[in-house]
Chains A and B, each alone.
Chain A
């Protein structure tokens, strides 16, 4: 890769970033507006792909909380499967944190794991403990769009993002929550 193709990400990466499902997702006519809604996938990992052309150091994770808060939220980043392995490996996570503050960005600064990530393909991941938790989100109206855009869903049975993920439940994910990572000390 030559220097001129090393696109630097903006200070935040989220499912709407060009590095993630970005423009193609936005252009799709099948998404609702960003609205507050409860999360139907609890004790599961929701995974949204993104890729980097240059290394970054992640300083914060964030969620855009909805109009009601409940339970805990865990946000992290996984490696993409590749090579001879089908296993995603958690690089870092916030670990489950109590959801706090309605209709605001909730920022998590204490991250556990390797927050320096190099060029490559990764997944943004989020897990909830309560179906009463709300986040601002968009929604796929057709189940298979999530799979088509590369989003994945894994029933972990826990609100903690697991160290590894090796299997997925495809084509059942409809929610795209507003959350992500930041390379700044604020969001």
Chain B
């Protein structure tokens, strides 16, 4: 087995570490593919995609980011949820802007997450024309289920509570994540 603790040590200031494809989220799977990213579109307008992650140390989350694709459209929302679907914080919704850039959104409230449980980072878009960056290869939804992803329909802007459901539709691993800055 891998040396979990040394492998997961955080390189400070690197967005990748705290992203959906970072080592604390889906990293084990994504690392094998050498992060073969490609641009795409958010599959289902107003749906929300949930990607599980954990932290090694108490971590203050005050911003999140989405890697925009070659096209921007509609509004995006990013947030953090507990494992049982309670929203800890979110942006609330912002127009997507800046093609081919990392768009950073401030959270409505900075919240601290802790070791000992897992959380979800969530992304929702109001438009299926919103350009995003995803893992290449169009993975089967069964693989996404095996990795622990979840999905909620009609979840833009991200609601206060959600009933997490099977990711049975969107064959995407979207590149987004959170930023930790101490106050």
Contact = CB atoms under 8 A, between A and B. Distances in A.
Interface of A: 3-12, 14, 16-24, 26-27, 34, 49-51, 53-54, 62, 64, 103-105, 136, 149-150, 178, 180, 182, 184, 186-187
- Mostly helix, strand, loop or mixed at chain A's interface? loop
B115 to A, nearest CB: 5
Interface string B67-105: 000000000000000010000000000000000000000
B147 interface: yes
A147 to B, nearest CB: 13
Contacts, number: 110
Contacts of B29: 16, 26
Contact of B115 (A8, A16, A17): A8
Contacts of A187: 145-146, 166
Interface stretch (B2-10, B38-46, B154-162): B2-10
Interface of B: 1-2, 4-5, 7-8, 23, 25, 27-29, 31-32, 52-54, 56-58, 83, 115-118, 140, 142-143, 145-148, 150, 164-166
B28 A26 contact: yes
Contacts of B52: 10-11
Contacts of B143: 34, 64, 136, 178
26 contacts: A3-B115, A5-B56, A10-B54, A10-B147, A12-B148, A14-B146, A16-B28, A16-B29, A17-B28, A18-B4, A18-B8, A19-B4, A21-B2, A22-B1, A22-B2, A23-B7, A27-B31, A64-B143, A105-B146, A136-B143, A149-B1, A150-B1, A178-B142, A182-B148, A186-B166, A187-B166
